Amino acid sequence: MPDYTTLLQTARFDVVEMELPSRDGQTHRRAYIRHPGAVVLLPLLDPDTIVMIENERTGVGETLLELPAGTRDQGETPLQTAARELVEETGYRAGDLEVACEFYSAPGLGNELMHMVVARNLTAGEQQLEPTERILTRLVSREEVDQLVRGHSIRDSKTLVGLQHFLLGYT
């Protein structure tokens, strides 16, 4: 990464500014988000049922139907983050976790690399939500997932990536 100046530090990410040379020889300053990375989970209760969450998202002023996800803590592997976030957001524990793919959530804005993790052999338990989280767990069938995606009811990009993976049978 080129030299940068930190503009803002938060608990989850930093906003940095970099000087970038342009094709015309000038230098331009651009702000980006530096992020430690995250996971999105595709929790399979069985081959045709996934565990999703109804997540109140204050940033957009809506409750979105999403796949569970979370930011990696320092020193955590993607699978450690996945195990922690699955329990926190859904209460389920996974007997098997596997990274299915990686993708950048918004490469024009920052470097957040997401690892999509398939979770199998689930055991139900209690959620361990953070104090500011408002999340309800919802079981969704393959047929309903197809209808939600085709009906444009899913508006969260990481969830769309995971659900397309599910619908295309890559799980």
Tell me, what CATH number does 44's domain have?
3.90.79.10
The structure's pTM equals 0.90
- pLDDT at residue 1, as a whole number: 57
Phi, then psi, of 113 in degrees rounded to 5: -100, 120
Structural domain for 74, as ranges: 38-167
pLDDT tens digits for the chain (171 residues)?
Answer: 568 899 989 888 888 999 888 889 899 899 998 989 999 999 999 999 999 999 999 999 999 999 999 999 999 999 999 999 999 999 999 999 999 999 999 999 999 999 999 999 999 999 999 898 999 999 999 999 999 999 999 999 999 999 999 999 877
**105 DSSP assignment:** S
Pair 66, 10 in one domain: no
Which of 112, 135, 126 minimizes the C-alpha distance to 66?
135
Pair 17, 58 in one domain: no
Pair 74, 103 in one domain: yes
Look at the chain and report how many structural domains it folds into.
2
